Amino acid sequence: MAVTEPQTADTDSTEAVLRASDIEKTYGSRVPFTRQIPVLSGADLTIHPGEIVGIVGANGAGKSTLMKILVGVLDADAGTVERSGSIGWCPQEPLLYDRLTVTETFRLFGSGYDMTSEEIAAARDRLADRLDFEQYLDYRVDQLSGGNRQKVNLAIAVMHDPDVLLLDEPYTGFDWETYQQFWAFARELADDGTAIAMISHLIEERERLDRVYELHDGTVQDVTEEGTDGTDTTREGDDA
Amino acid sequence: MHRIREGVRLNLQAFVRTPLNLVLAIVLPLVVIEGWGQAMAGLPSMPTVEAIPLDLGRMLGAVFGVAIIAGLLGLVQMIHARSADRRLIQAGFPARTLLATRLLMLTVVAVAVAALNFGVLHVLIDPEAPLVAFAALALAGIVYAFVGALVGAIVPRLFEGSLVVVFLAMMDAFLSGDSPLAADVPDFVEFFPLYHPKAALESAALEGTIATGEFAFVAGYLVVLLALVTTVFTLTMQTSGRWAA
């Protein structure tokens, strides 16, 4: 699979910060007589600065697979992904080091993002205040509740002010107030120019999304104008 | 350099915050060293070896204790951190730097575990050349920490990986070096991870000599292991695998 950054080409392409074309992915195994599981078969998707894009689809449709390919942590079998700018990724399950404190987690990932100590501290304080986990900065990750762990998971994804933010059900475990705060925060980021793509399962979220892509039979359709038919209405996640 | 320093420090902090690690590192040496010594005390002496089976058993216990703890810690560190490692690498942390921080941390821990085991051994058998004996034991620990890391990178499951490390360490400790349990062993045993560290330990503890050939072999062994771990870790952290399924 080709990965290009930054992209060139036509006007639309210049505006897009992330563009995936003809993405194909089949999960297989080298073990004989095991099943091949085709997931994506020519998926296309474009994300522009300042918009919040929803990716919906039934359980097992391939949403998380597509997102991992967009992030760059999983290779597609075919197709291209063009990225411009930095990426922030919030996986569905918090992929963090359990024995580190929240502050140490910021330090480690901040050094990964190549941020200075001052930048890391500023981002930590700003996000802890914004997402309301200031009192847990000295807690170890494995001592946090599910909701607070998810807040840290999200904060780590945005601490370096990425140009593109890819979120895989980032609100799992949030209470209603935090859920509302999350959407206000996402809108602020989008208004500041961040492009956001988010896997979503909730019908009521459609009103908050600028565009909606639906994954079905391995391909992606823009269903922004089509209402809610065919989408899963549960908050149960999947890892396909 | 900043990333390595930060990584090693945070890795060590995460390690000492796992109480089971500390309990294993402190309790196991006492149990294993004296346990092996007493278990082998009743065996007949070997005609070609002057040392009594009790002391050989204690040395076997020390080597086994260091190997099993360091090996399992290497394994656990790699497996438990696997998913977070991938995210950290996606965030821009270089995979080789991350591996370097983990291996440095494991080296520090292996030396500390060897020091505890050596302390117990020193009380029990009074080695002829204590510093050299300690160096040999520390090398045994480092070798097995890297073996554990390698197994953890190849076999990403704790149960299966633990079986591999435990059985390898047991077979290795039994067959390597002078042992009343295995007087006549096949040639390929020379390439087992503990063969040369154990030979260096016996030579230092019983005869007071520095077995330079054995130490050189262990150094080469470590270089090969390092290359293998780096290759496997880098490959498994690449994006084309099944891990994200």
What is the tens place of the pLDDT at every residue in A148-161? 999 999 999 999 99
Q: Chain B residue closest to A37 (CA)?
A: B245
Q: Is A69 among the domain residues?
A: yes
Question: Burial of B49 by CB count in 10 Å (0-12 exposed, 13-18 middle, 19+ buried)?
Answer: middle
- Predicted confidence (pLDDT) per residue in B109-123, tens digit: 999 999 998 998 888
* Confidence band, pLDDT 50/70/90 cuts, at residue A1: low
- Predicted confidence (pLDDT) per residue in B149-200, tens digit: 999 999 888 899 999 999 999 888 877 766 555 666 777 888 899 989 988 9
Which is more confident, B51 or A178?
A178
- Predicted confidence (pLDDT) per residue in B206-230, tens digit: 888 899 999 999 999 999 999 999 9
Provide the pairing of β-strand A211-216 with A219-222.
antiparallel
Q: How far is B107 from chain A (nearest CA, A)?
A: 19
Q: Is A174 among the domain residues?
A: no
Q: Is A115 among the domain residues?
A: no
Q: How far is A225 from chain B (nearest CA, A)?
A: 31
Picking from A64, A73, A239, the nearest residue to B90 by CB comes out as A73
Q: Is B195 among the domain residues?
A: yes
Return the pLDDT at B187. Answer: 77
Residue B74 is part of which domain span? 2-237
Q: Is B244 among the domain residues?
A: no
pTM surpassing 0.80? yes
Report whether B225 contacts B147 (CB < 8 A): yes
**Average pLDDT for B23-49:** 75
* AA identity, residue A94: P
Q: Is B24 among the domain residues?
A: yes
Residue A32 is part of which domain span? 1-85+199-227
Q: How far is B131 from chain A (nearest CA, A)?
A: 34
Helices (H) and strands (E) in chain B, counts: 9, 0
Task: Give the start-end residues of each E strand in A58-194.
Answer: 78-83, 87-90, 164-168
Q: Is A118 among the domain residues?
A: no
Return d(Cα B143, Cα A181) in angstroms, integer: 51
Picking from A112, A140, A160, the nearest residue to B88 by CB comes out as A112
* Confidence band, pLDDT 50/70/90 cuts, at residue B45: low
Query: A7-46 burial by CB neighbour count: b if 16+ within 10 A, else e?
Result: beeeeeeeebbbbbeebbbebeeeeeeeeeeebbbebebb
Look at chain A and report how many structural domains it folds into: 1
Q: Is A143 among the domain residues?
A: no
Q: Is A177 among the domain residues?
A: no
A187 pLDDT above the threshold of 80? yes
Tokens representing A194 are: 């961040």
Q: Is B242 among the domain residues?
A: no
Q: Is B161 among the domain residues?
A: yes
A37 pLDDT above the threshold of 50? yes
Q: Is A10 among the domain residues?
A: yes
Look at chain B and report how many structural domains it folds into: 1
B239 pLDDT above the threshold of 70? no
Query: A219-238 burial by CB neighbour count: b if 16+ within 10 A, else e?
Result: ebbebeeeeeeebbeeeebb
Q: Is A57 among the domain residues?
A: yes
* Confidence band, pLDDT 50/70/90 cuts, at residue A33: confident
Q: Is B138 among the domain residues?
A: yes
* A46-55, A194-203, B41-50: segment of lowest average pLDDT: B41-50
Return the pLDDT at A174. Answer: 87
| Mutate: best of B77, B88, B102, partner A, most A CBs <10 A | B88
Q: Is B227 among the domain residues?
A: yes
Q: Which residues contact B78 (CB under 8 A, 6 or more apart)?
A: B102, B148, B149, B152, B153, B233
Return the pLDDT at A2. Answer: 53
Q: Is B74 among the domain residues?
A: yes
**Average pLDDT for B18-37:** 79
* Confidence band, pLDDT 50/70/90 cuts, at residue A13: very low
Return the pLDDT at A59. Answer: 86
Please count the other Cβ atoms lying within 10 Å of the Cβ belonging to residue B201: 30
Return d(Cα B228, Cα B188) in angstroms, integer: 19
Q: Which of A28, A16, A21 is nearest to A1 (CA)?
A: A21
Return the pLDDT at A236. Answer: 41
Picking from A95, A97, A140, the nearest residue to B86 by CB comes out as A95
